[in-house]
Chains A and B, each alone.
Chain A
Amino acid sequence: MSPEILGLVFVCVLSVALFAGFPIAFTLVIMSLVFGYIGFGIRVFDLMVYQYFSLMEDPLWAAVPLFLLMGLLLEQAGLMERLFKAFQLLLAPVRGSLYLAVALTAAIFATATGIVGASVVLLGVMAAPTMNKCKYDVRMSAGIITAGGTLGILIPPSVMLVVMGPVVGVSVVDLFAAAILPGLLLAGLFGGYALVRSRIQPHIGPALPKEERASSFAFILWELGRGLIPPAGLVMACLGSILFGWATPTEGAAMGAFGACILILAYRRFTWARFYKAGLQTLQVTGMVVFLVGASNFFGAVFSRLGTPTMITEALVGLGLGPTGIILIVLLLVFILGWPLEWIPIVLIVIPIVLPVIRAFGINLVWFSILVAVCLQTAWLSPPVALASYWLKGVVPEWDLKDIYIGMLEFMVLQALGTLLLLFFPQIVLWLPSVLAG
């Protein structure tokens, strides 16, 4: 058997074994060891040790625990509640105001945090009771909360982009800069869609009743200032310092975590129990990410050494598809895999397999990464592994899971639309990095 065919067998065996429900990282390691040993002998053992150690030696990965800590502390700081309250008061007279407030809060909070879990939960807790009281449409409400809440994984700072940068081989700073406009575009699509629907069908999103409105405009301004200034400061310290080149992504993450510590102290939300919980959670997720990244780097090294990616690339180039065709196929693959899988296995296992093809076509890798990232956001919304729906159901038990699914599907159509816009107008992605670069 030639090494290339061995590589194909490898991927087939692997994809069956991974579905048995055992932690991916360990299955990946042993399979790569076995197939690597058959393919090129004992060198595979040192390759594994080296792959793991080079991970421990790379300062970029220190951004992961820091972004996690920052996000977990911000959940507790009550930042989002203030922001949402302020937007709700400001927009109260508008039809569909709560939808818009959710989209705005989600987008702003996403620029201050790099993780996703909390946003959906917090938005659900804050918005759902008022939405129920004002007879907002359940599907629409669930859709905008889940879709908006998961923007945190796309809009920088984002743990997903930190992981993606080294996998694709582009700078994390470029990815951060490139993801801002697409993220805001999606938030705009979500909010805009909700507003248009509320205008056409007033019953799904009425303006808020008098008792939910503010007494004076000055009060709204005061609330808005209180809600907006702390996150703005945090965004400047973290994302700003990264984008303007004052700090590396890792240092920016440290600044963000530091800012989050200051905020949680300032809001008097700090307790040792919370710190303990956030710290252990940080440790756990960092361990999961680092170990899985090591395993998949090792897998990628073995796989490419067997020569299979080159073979696949030649076969695909021979098909005579243009770059657009290839990208569409890859995005479709990512989208479909997003139904049973979470983003981490897709980024770490699938992307390295298709990457040589993308390179062979000379496709801009930053643009490609962002397209994949936008597409991956749907992985949170597509059943059966739609984490966002479980989180929302957990805090709003009176909403039917079926309605939540249907709501999410509506917003997945919007995301597909957003992806197509980025596909045909690459400037949306590439403009900001080029401006910042000089």
Chain B
Amino acid sequence: MRALERIVKVLDGITVWTARICFPLVIPLMAVLVYEVFVRKLFISPTIWAMDTSYMINGVLGMMGAVYALYRGGHIAIDFISDRWSKRTKAAVNAVFYITCFFPGMSIFLWFGSKFAYDSWLEKERAITSAWMPPIYPLKMVMVVAIVFLLLQGISEFLKNLHVFLRGERP
């Protein structure tokens, strides 16, 4: 049990740090778009990079945010029925769902996502949706990295549920 608590602590710590590093990205996201609106309306000289930059930043926020949301219990669940169960029943059901749904689903995501990103990296793929044509493979790698962090946080959540089931309380 000691080992379990240590693992949970380390994994949660990783997630909290990724969140601290990622959330300030919302400031450049805002700045880029506000700049774009001003130069386009006032000086009639739109940038060619604002749109690409905005979705790239948001891609990081969205996927890494999913990891932090898992840690904070922020993913929406239909829990008005399970709220009536005992803490241990709830933990047992959750643990089963982690084994049968979360880990298989996210592992498949990791596998095929990696192939997707690797192919893109091999040909140094660029975005074809804008005149700027920035490299797009880093964003695909972000998706893979985020899924790795998501799996790590998933392990932590699974262990927490296991602990509740076995000991009746959170580690």
Chain A interface residues (CB < 8 Å from chain B): 18-27, 29-31, 33, 45-46, 48-50, 52-53, 55-59, 61-62, 64-66, 69, 241, 246-247, 250-251, 253-255, 257-258, 261, 279-280, 282-292, 340-342, 344-345, 384-385
Contacts and interface: CB of A to CB of B under 8 A. Distances in A.
Given A27-B97, A29-B105, A384-B80, A284 B74 contact: yes
B59 A26 contact: no
B34 A255 contact: yes
24 contacts: A20-B93, A21-B83, A21-B94, A22-B101, A26-B101, A27-B97, A45-B111, A50-B116, A53-B116, A56-B63, A57-B136, A64-B58, A65-B61, A65-B62, A66-B30, A69-B26, A246-B41, A251-B36, A279-B23, A280-B19, A286-B58, A287-B69, A291-B65, A291-B69
Report whether over half of chain B's contact residues are helix, strand or loop; otherwise say mixed: helix
A340 B78 contact: yes
Nearest to B24: A279
Interface residues of B, number: 65
Contacts of A257: 26, 30
B55 A62 contact: yes
A311 B58 CA distance: 37
B104 interface: yes
Given A29-B109, A283-B19, A287-B67, A345 B76 contact: yes
A66 B64 contact: no
Contacts of A21: 77-79, 81-83, 85, 90, 93-94
A62 B57 CA distance: 8
A141 B93 CA distance: 40
A55 B65 contact: no
Contacts of B143: 49, 52-53, 56
Contacts of B54: 59, 62, 250
B22 interface: yes
A61 B62 CA distance: 9
Interface in B93-127: 93-94, 97, 100-102, 104-106, 108-109, 111-113, 116, 127
Given A57-B55, A285-B74, A65 B26 contact: yes
Given A26-B106, A254-B37, A342-B76, A290 B30 contact: no
Interface string B10-27: 000000000110111010
B148 interface: no
Contacts of B34: 251, 254-255, 258
Residue of B36, B57, B101 ringed by the most chain A CB atoms within 10 A: B101
A385 B36 CA distance: 41
Contact of B78 (A64, A251, A254, A341): A341
Contacts of B63: 56, 287, 290-291
Nearest to B71: A284
B33 interface: yes
Nearest to B59: A56
Contacts of B85: 21
Contacts of B57: 62
Contact of A30 (B20, B101, B116): B101
Contact of B108 (A24, A45, A285): A45
B141 to A, nearest CB: 11
B40 to A, nearest CB: 9
Contacts of A33: 104-105, 108
Contacts of A385: 80
Contact of B61 (A45, A57, A251, A286): A286
B79 A61 contact: no
A385 B139 CA distance: 37
Contacts of B24: 279
Contact of B116 (A49, A66, A285): A49
